[in-house]
């Protein structure tokens, strides 16, 4: 056997955890890292197992734990009600998602080889890796101990990654979270921890500063060196990033390892991606909400950190709003999913940002500064995040109204979600003292809501650095 540190499986099976159903899985990797063996101990009453993208024809040695062959057809492993233990082997070379980064590091998707029961809201799959101690493990699931993880129901927004091998695993701690970071070097370029870790720390603190804690207690963070065929992205320090919600929450970045630290710290990508975690997963046809709120906060939070001046942050927002207005015959935000993404991309990202800005200003004005988009999102995290399911946009806005003193969200949704193009921000800009001049802005000091404009972008004091 190769690599993954053993944990006391017998103790794990006997522990009481207070969930509706805990299913216990033991995973073993062979010496050559070619096969993964799975032994599943199931709670009672399970009659079938499925894998999200699995093919039962790819499984070897599929039996119950007494050695009796099991039936697999039509994407399911069929079980009798008293068959509570299953064994099988999956040849990793058959995986369409396998990426070999080095002789002893590879990335694979458990959606192809992890066959599990249908999970209720309170159910979990407890997964233990067994082996020796010479490999690291990175997974999106919540850590129970260093080699045991809990997979819970999730929206399955895209395929998660499991990383096994001799890569560097690091932890970044800040209020409300421990970021579990996997650093995956390129074939010729070793990623610098002196650049990657401070950049991730700063971006995570940006988002933790919204309401004093990070929205997820232990996300998986994957940082991969970009290169040919791996999101090279031209001259950007961070060419690409995205959030994955599949069995847990993860954020994956492709980075240009040659860039200096200042380029990382000045890049908005990580702040944008981490800001996605402020909301639950919204159904894909309404991605204007999740992308819009994250786009709004990427500018607000970089201003609060001091990367952007107040003027620069408003200039960037104004420029992006202008580009969204340039779309010919624009659909409504809710109809953007019916169009080719690249035709409506700016509307997807910035219609939701305009709605977030409208909500933020209204809440601050109506509450005399006591309530804001920040505070309402903090209450959303306390009640509902991380979320195990997909949400509809109208449902999210209704929940935000339920959590706020001033009911602005559903009204804004009704006014703008099905209206073509970008919300009209002319009157809002006048009240805030933002005078658009092409793609630039002039900030006026005699506007009625100038105090709100300043407070939205206000830099944090020294206590912010102590998060």
Look at the chain and report how many structural domains it folds into.
3
- Does pLDDT of 278 surpass 70? yes
Q: How confident is the model at residue 19 (pLDDT cuts 50, 70, 90)?
A: low
Across 323-331, average pLDDT: 96
Least confident of 82-96, 188-202, 397-411: 82-96
Let me know if residue 176 belongs to a domain: yes
Let me know if residue 158 belongs to a domain: no
Residue 18: per-residue pLDDT: 43
Q: How confident is the model at residue 413 (pLDDT cuts 50, 70, 90)?
A: very high
- Does pLDDT of 363 surpass 50? yes
pTM across the whole model: 0.92
User: What is the number of alpha carbons within 13 Å of residue 321 lying toward its C-beta?
Assistant: 26
Would you say 443 and 460 are in contact if contact means Cβ atoms under 8 Å apart? no
C-alpha angle with apex 209: 206 to 214, nearest 5 degrees? 85
Q: What is the CATH number of the domain that holds 102?
A: 2.60.40.3650
Q: Which of 204, 348, 183, 343 is nearest to 269 (CA)?
A: 204
3-state secondary structure of 190: coil
Least confident of 8-17, 151-160, 313-322, 358-367: 8-17
Tell me the DSSP string of 144-176: EETTEEEE------S---EEEES-EEEEEEETT
294 and 271 part of one domain: no
- Does pLDDT of 83 surpass 80? yes
Q: How confident is the model at residue 186 (pLDDT cuts 50, 70, 90)?
A: confident
467 and 343 part of one domain: yes
What percentage of the chain has pLDDT greater than the value 90?
Answer: 77
What are residue 127's DSSP bridge partners?
25, 149
User: Domain boundary at 101, 118, 153, which?
Assistant: 153
* Cα torsion angle, 160, 163, 168, 173, sign: positive
Numbers of helices and strands, H then E, in the chain = 12, 21
Query: What are the pLDDT digits (tens) for 227-249?
Result: 655 555 568 999 999 999 999 99
Q: How confident is the model at residue 463 (pLDDT cuts 50, 70, 90)?
A: very low
Across 284-309, average pLDDT: 97
CA distance 344 to 448: 34
- Other beta carbons within 10 Å of 185: 17
**Helical ranges in 267-340 per DSSP H:** 269-276, 287-305, 310-325
User: Domain boundary at 124, 153, 182, which?
Assistant: 153
Let me know if residue 1 belongs to a domain: no
Q: Which of 10, 37, 12, 1 is nearest to 146 (CA)?
A: 12
CA distance 39 to 328: 56
Residues 6+ apart with CB under 8 A from 121: 20, 153, 388, 389
Residue 5: per-residue pLDDT: 34
């Amino acid at each position: 056997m190769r690599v993954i540190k053993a944990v006391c499986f017998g103790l794990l099976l006997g522990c009481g955890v207070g969930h509706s159903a805990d299913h216990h899985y033991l995973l073993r990797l062979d010496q050559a890292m070619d096969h993964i063996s799975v032994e599943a101990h199931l709670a009672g009453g399970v009659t079938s197992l499925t894998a999200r993208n699995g093919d039962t024809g790819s499984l070897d040695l599929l039996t119950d734990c007494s050695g009796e062959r099991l039936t697999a057809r039509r994407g399911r492993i069929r079980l009798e009600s008293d068959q509570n233990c299953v064994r099988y082997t999956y040849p990793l070379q058959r995986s369409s998602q396998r990426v070999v980064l080095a002789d002893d590091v590879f990335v694979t998707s458990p959606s192809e080889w992890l066959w599990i029961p249908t999970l209720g809201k309170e159910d979990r799959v407890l997964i233990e890796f067994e082996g020796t101690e010479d490999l690291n493990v990175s997974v999106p699931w919540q850590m129970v101990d260093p080699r045991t993880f809990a997979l819970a129901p999730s929206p399955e927004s895209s395929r998660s990654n499991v990383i096994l091998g001799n890569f560097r695993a690091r932890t970044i701690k800040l209020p409300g979270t421990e970021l579990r970071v996997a650093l995956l070097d390129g074939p010729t370029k070793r990623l610098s921890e002196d650049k990657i870790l401070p950049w991730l720390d700063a971006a995570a603190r940006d988002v933790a500063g919204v309401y004093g804690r990070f929205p997820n207690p232990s996300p998986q963070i994957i940082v991969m060196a970009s290169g040919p065929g791996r999101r090279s992205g031209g001259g950007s320090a961070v060419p690409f990033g995205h959030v994955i919600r599949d069995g847990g929450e993860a954020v994956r970045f492709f980075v240009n390892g040659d860039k200096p630290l200042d380029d990382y710290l000045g890049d908005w990508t990580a702040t944008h991606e981490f800001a996605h975690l402020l909301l639950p997963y919204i159904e894909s046809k309404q991605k204007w909400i999740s992308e819009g709120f994250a786009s709004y906060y990427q500018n607000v939070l970089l201003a609060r950190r001091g990367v952007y001046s107040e003027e620069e942050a408003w200039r960037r927002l104004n420029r992006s709003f202008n580009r969204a207005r340039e779309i010919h015959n624009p659909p409504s935000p809710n109809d953007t999913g019916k169009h080719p993404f690249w035709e409506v991309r700016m509307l997807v990202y910035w219609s939701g940002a305009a709605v977030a800005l409208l909500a933020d200003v209204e809440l601050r004005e109506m509450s005399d500064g006591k309530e804001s988009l920040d505070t309402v999102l903090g209450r959303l995290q306390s009640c509902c995040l991380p979320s195990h399911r997909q949400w509809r946009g109208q449902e999210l806005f209704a929940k935000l109204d339920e959590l706020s003193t001033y009911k602005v969200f559903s009204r804004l949704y009704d006014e703008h979600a099905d209206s073509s193009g970008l919300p009209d921000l002319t009157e809002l800009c006048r009240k805030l003292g933002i005078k658009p001049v092409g793609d630039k802005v002039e900030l006026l000091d005699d506007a009625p809501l100038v105090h709100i404009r300043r407070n939205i972008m206000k830099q944090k004091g020294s206590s912010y650095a102590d998060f």
